Amino acid sequence: MDKIIESLKFDDKGLMPAVVQDWKDNVVLMVAYMNKEAVKRTLETKKATFWSRSRQSFWVKGESSGNIQELKEFYYDCDADCILLKVNQIGDAACHTGYRSCFFTKVKSALDTEIVGERLFDPDKVYRK
Amino acid sequence: MDKIIESLKFDDKGLMPAVVQDWKDNVVLMVAYMNKEAVKRTLETKKATFWSRSRQSFWVKGESSGNIQELKEFYYDCDADCILLKVNQIGDAACHTGYRSCFFTKVKSALDTEIVGERLFDPDKVYRK
């Protein structure tokens, strides 16, 4: 484990981006950030675990919503500075807004965007206050 | 154009990651970085254009190898801090090592990785000195 983690090149904040892809159809669900410990926890627990830059804490994806991501495959790139996870997305939707993918905003033209896909859950119901 | 670019949230270095996906089968080819001008050039020219952090210069993907990426679709995520490009990859291989995807290193076990895929070109022949 340490051998693999030591070969990864984290940035000056100790982080690197991780692309999360649905292992069933290769849809890109989200991008989040990992530090060494998040990589370790993800590989050990087989649940995608990130470092939340806004909350400055570890974040097991799906902890609140139940929509966890079971790790199927773990890759890193030719520069060893980016990770790709293939996951089994429980509950289908990865995005906290209720969309399947965080990439639901498509640039349609120079001035216009459109929303693609549909909400799979209502965030107000899932993330209770 | 400016409206879209102004809605994007670049990091403290003026950059954000861009995931590049093959529009035909959703394979993730690579992740690179864009600044405002790279976003503008990509949308205008329809050729994926990045900011090279190592060279500190603009980088039209495929400029040297001929393996350019024709922009098909341009998305950004729910936080507006990550981009997803769907491209038509000319020459099939995106990685400068000759592999189709930069993510050819798969973590097999706690101590071991394996190379997946095969080289589609010989970098020594493509990037002539």
Work out the minimum CA distance from B48 to partner chain A, whole angstroms: 14
Q: Indicate if ipTM > 0.90.
A: yes
pLDDT at position B128: 63
- Determine the average pLDDT of the residues in A26-33: 98
**What domains lie within chain A, and their CATH numbers?**
2-96 (3.10.20.810)
- For chain A, what is the HEC assignment? CHHHHHHCCCCCCCCEEEEEEECCCCCEEEEEEECHHHHHHHHHHCECEEEECCCCEEEECCCCCCCCEEEEEEEECCCCCCEEEEEEECCCCCCCCCECCCCCEEECCCCCEEECCCECCCHHHHCCC
Element (H, E) at B72: strand B69-76
| pLDDT tens digits for range B64-82 | 889 999 999 999 999 999 9
A26, B27: Cβ pair inside 8 Å? yes
Across the interface, of A19, A78, A105, the residue whose CB is closest to B97 is A78
Query: How far from the centroid of its chain's Cα atoms is residue A8's Cα?
Result: 18
Classified as helix, coil or strand, B83 is: strand
User: Is B82 annotated as belonging to a binding site?
Assistant: no
Classified as helix, coil or strand, B5 is: helix
Whether the per-residue pLDDT at A1 is higher than 90: the answer is no
Interface test with B, best of A2, A81, A103 (most B CBs within 10 A): A103
As averages over each run of 10 residues, the pLDDT of chain B (129 residues) reads 88 97 97 97 96 96 93 97 98 91 90 84 76
Pairs of CB atoms within 8 A across A/B: 102
Work out the minimum CA distance from A60 to partner chain B, whole angstroms: 18
pLDDT at position B117: 83
Classified as helix, coil or strand, B124 is: helix
C-alpha closest to that of B26 among A19, A11, A89: A19
The whole model's pTM is what?
0.93
| pLDDT tens digits for range A66-89 | 999 999 999 999 999 999 999 999
